Amino acid sequence: MIFSLDYWISLKTEPDIYNDYDTLPYNTVGVVLGTSKYIKGGGINAFYKNRIEGAIDLYWLGKVDYLLLSGDNALMSYNEPITMKRDLLKAGIPETAIVLDYAGFRTLDSIVRANKVFDVNQFTIITQEFHCERALFIAQYQGIDAKCFAVPTPDNIHMVRIREMFARLGAFVDLYILNKEPKYLGPMLPIIADNQNNDKIDK
């Protein structure tokens, strides 16, 4: 059952995954899914590095206008959105183009909150291809019109891929059986409207 579900999700989401900048359609918002910047024992996490570089490229190529950084902020010492923001600012991305989602504890939270909290129904997800598939699966179930830009996946991810299979099973149960919502929702904070208002104030 797990293998069948894994294959079905891959097949179901394949048309909405892009590996090439030129063929990726424009969306106003790009959603960067968070992960730890560092690996245990030291060194930069290649999953993180590739997602950040992909987000930077999409912004400068005009494929997105805003970057919604969604990640875990459960501990004072661990803040994925702030860490991503710092690296984007270092790359010259303007602060007005960056929006932080501190409650992206899981992929489901990140995708649903982008729609229900940040009021975006069309967006580009930025992550590795295997993760794209689960994120798009959630988006499709929620009726969200999402695409995914698949950044390079590091080598030797056998254990990661096995965990992903069980994560897909968990996503299926959350959506089709438990009808789970994000841990936090809260008031709506529209990205586009808020930023347009800020632009008017600046002018």
pTM score, whole prediction: 0.92
The one-letter amino acid at 197: N
Given 3.40.50.1460, 2.40.10.10, 2.60.120.1440, 3.40.50.620, which CATH number is that of 2-202?
3.40.50.620
Pairwise CA distance, residues 136 & 88, whole Å? 24
Question: How far is the C-alpha of 129 from the C-alpha of 114, rounded, in Å?
Answer: 19
> What ranges in 44-128 are assigned the alpha helix state H?
46-60, 80-90, 107-116
Instruction: Return the percentage of the chain with pLDDT > 90, whole number.
Output: 87
Per-residue pLDDT band at 42 (split at 50, 70, 90)? confident
* Rounded Cα–Cα distance for residues 135 and 148 (Å): 8
User: Where are the domains positioned within the chain?
Assistant: 2-202
Q: What is the DSSP letter of 190?
A: -
